[in-house]
């Protein structure tokens, strides 16, 4: 899908810089997600930094993931981030 992530880069403050396959890019603030069930491990900055793209989603080694549609919905433009 066009809203699949192409690349993801961890930023300070539990943010992700996201580039989508369709060329859009922005920043997702992950802080609101850190207390959600199954995402507690992301509170560790070193672990959070291990993010990668798998099937268009933001994923981490122990199976945590954020769906492409969620990334798109939460993405702020780089200028306003």
Q: Is the pTM of this model over 0.75?
A: yes
Write out pLDDT tens, residues 20-41: 999 999 999 999 999 899 999 9
Count of Cβ atoms closer than 10 Å to residue 40 Cβ: 11
Non-local CB neighbours of 44 within 8 Å, separated by 6+ positions = none
Decide if pLDDT at 81 tops 80.
Answer: no
Decide if pLDDT at 79 tops 90.
Answer: no
Q: Which H, E and C letters describe 22-45, residue by residue?
A: CCCEEEEECHHHCCCCCCHHHHCH
Decide if pLDDT at 1 tops 70.
Answer: no
Instruction: Identify the residue with better confidence: 71 or 80.
Output: 71
The pLDDT score that the predictor gives to residue 77 is 72
Query: 12 with 21: CB under 8 angstroms?
Result: no
| Residue reference for tokens 């989603």 | 57
Pair of tokens at residue 26: 């922005």
């Amino acid at each position: 899908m066009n809203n699949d992530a192409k690349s993801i880069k961890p930023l300070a403050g539990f943010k992700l810089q996201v580039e989508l396959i369709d060329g859009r890019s922005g920043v997702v603030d992950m802080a609101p997600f850190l207390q959600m069930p199954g995402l507690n491990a992301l509170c560790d900055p070193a672990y959070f930094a291990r993010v990668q793209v798998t099937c268009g989603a933001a994923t981490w080694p122990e199976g945590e993931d954020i769906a492409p549609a969620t990334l798109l919905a939460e993405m702020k433009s780089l200028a306003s981030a």
